[in-house]
Amino acid sequence: MALLANLTLVFVAGFITALATGLGAIPFFLVEDISDRWYVALWGLASGIMLAASLFGLIFEGLAEGTAFEIAVGMGAGVLLVIAAHHVLDDVDIDPKEYAEADFKKLVLILGILTVHSFPEGVAVGVSFAELGLEGADGPMLFGVAVPVLAVFMTVAISIHNIPEGVAISIPLRSMGVSEWRMAWWAVFSSLPQPIGAVLAFAFVRLARDFLPYGFGFAAGAMIYLVATEFIPEALETGAPLPGGGHRELAGGLAAGVTLMVPLALI
């Protein structure tokens, strides 16, 4: 019974981090129409967020848990995932309904990679709960159980981290005319593996610690490759008619994304 209660608490913590991703759609509830100039800047913002989260968040976190070789192996696997996803989507006959086929494929790819990337973050939450329910564990009391301080910290930190990622997910959805509530839903959906990963990692924490560096590297590799092959080319294509080809707006967005994300990634 105690194990079930602990697993439930870990799942709830992971689910809170997933819900935080939906907050990233809030800005799009406030703005009706966005010009091409702002789209380019927003694509740059999303790229900066992803690159900073990968470099200063996932990779640094992975190095704290393992070796550079393990991170590199994970990153290589993440890149292969994106390449494989490209090939699968190119070969599958998709009925996108109200979306253009190319845009629909881009949506599936972006959501798929971001969904996969969220799993290691859930693992991190689960690992942080490793001492939950153990004798002598210190931390705030919740339902008569001492919750590890690290678990509280990790849940809050990843929730904050997920908000700008929700913005990044909402950008391609907005460009395709998806409603604000659907944006919020897809943002939350992309992080649903987090509570699952949290529960699995808590249950098998020793094994999870061994594979955590590979998981962080896997997520970082997939995200960096996604930015290089999808986000930046999309921004440059949208900004082609603008003065200077939209490079200034893209650079400004990238700088803003990195500036926003680095302090959060280093929390």
CA distances from 199 to 16, 123, 203, 251 (A): 13, 8, 6, 39
Q: Say if residues 39 and 166 touch (Cβ distance below 8 Å).
A: no
Residue 69: predicted pLDDT: 94
Provide Rg for the chain, Cα atoms. 19
DSSP code at position 177? T
Residue 103: predicted pLDDT: 58
The closest alpha carbon to 50, from 247, 229, 178, belongs to 229
Which residues are bridge partners to 145 per DSSP? 142
Q: Say if residues 227 and 47 touch (Cβ distance below 8 Å).
A: yes
Residue 73: predicted pLDDT: 94
Written as tens digits, the pLDDT of the chain (267 aa) is 476 777 788 888 888 888 988 888 887 787 666 677 877 887 888 788 778 878 877 788 788 878 999 999 989 988 887 787 667 656 555 444 444 455 566 666 666 666 666 777 777 777 777 666 555 555 556 656 667 776 777 787 778 767 767 877 777 777 777 788 888 888 888 788 888 888 887 777 656 667 778 878 887 888 788 788 877 887 888 788 888 888 888 899 899 888 877 776 555
